[in-house]
Structure 1
Amino acid sequence: MAQDRVEAVERALTVLEVFDSPREAFTLADLAQATGYYKSTLLRLLGSLARYDYVQRGSDGRWRLGHSPVRLARRHVPSRQLAARVQPLLDRLAAETGETAALLEAHPGEVECRLVALPATALRHDLRPGSRWPVSEQDDPRPVLPGGAMEYLALANGPDAPPLWLSLSGPAGRQSATRLRQALQEAAAVLEAPPADEETIS
Structure 2
Amino acid sequence: MAQRRVEAVERALSLLEAFNEHRREFSLTELSQATGYYKSTILRLMASLEVFGFVVRDERGIYRIGPACARLAPLAGEGVRLEGLVRPVLEALRDASGETASFYIRDDDERVCLYRENGRHEVRHHLEQGARLPLDRGAAARVLRGDGESGDVQVSRGEREPSVAAAAIAIRRPNGELLGALALSGPRERFTEALEQHRNVLREKAEELEAHLPHGPVTF
TM-score interval, smaller chain = 0.5 to 0.7
Q: Is the 2:168–2:184 contact (alpha carbons within 8 Å) kept by the matching residues of 1? A: yes
Q: Distance in 1 between matches of 2:205 and 2:161?
A: 23
Q: Deviations over 1:14-52 (max 9, x none)?
A: xxxxxxxxxxxxxxxxxxxxxxxxxxxxxxxxxxxxxxx
Q: How many equivalent residue pairs?
A: 123
Query: Could you say which structure has the larger radius of gyration?
Result: 2
Unaligned runs of 5+ in 1: 1-76
SS of 1:129 mapped into structure 2: coil
The amino acid across from 2:207 in the alignment is A
What does residue range 156-175 of structure 1 map to in structure 2 within 5 Å? 156-157=172-173, 163-175=179-191
Correspondence for 2:33: none
SS of 2:129 mapped into structure 1: coil
What is the TM-score when the length of structure 1 is the normalising length? 0.53
Q: Distance in 2 between matches of 1:109 and 1:157?
A: 21
Correspondence for 1:91: 91
Shift, 1:200, TM fit: 6.2
Q: Distance in 2 between matches of 1:103 and 1:201?
A: 18
What does residue range 1-202 of structure 1 map to in structure 2 within 5 Å? 78=79, 81-136=81-136, 138-139=145-146, 144-157=160-173, 163-175=179-191, 176-194=194-212, 198-199=214-215, 202=218
SS of 2:185 mapped into structure 1: strand
Q: Distance in 2 between matches of 1:150 and 1:121?
A: 15
Shift, 1:145, TM fit: 2.0
SS of 2:200 mapped into structure 1: helix
Q: Is the 2:85–2:212 contact (alpha carbons within 8 Å) kept by the matching residues of 1? A: no
Shift, 1:158, TM fit: 6.6
Greater fraction strand? 2
Shift, 1:92, TM fit: 1.4
Q: 1:188 to 1:105 in 2, by over 3 A?
A: same
Q: Is the 1:83–1:115 contact (alpha carbons within 8 Å) kept by the matching residues of 2? A: yes
Q: 1:158 to 1:103 in 2, by over 3 A?
A: same
The amino acid across from 1:129 in the alignment is Q
Shift, 1:149, TM fit: 0.5
Identity %: 28
Q: Deviations over 1:102-136 (max 9, x none)?
A: 01111111110011011222211111210011122
What is the TM-score when the length of structure 2 is the normalising length? 0.49
RMSD: 2.7
* Range that drifts further, 132-141 or 87-96: 132-141
Q: Deviations over 1:34-79 (max 9, x none)?
A: xxxxxxxxxxxxxxxxxxxxxxxxxxxxxxxxxxxxxxxxxxx647
Unaligned runs of 5+ in 2: 1-77, 137-141, 148-153
Q: Deviations over 1:140-187 (max 9, x none)?
A: 697602111010000113779664010000001303221111111110
Q: Is the 1:149–1:172 contact (alpha carbons within 8 Å) kept by the matching residues of 2? A: yes
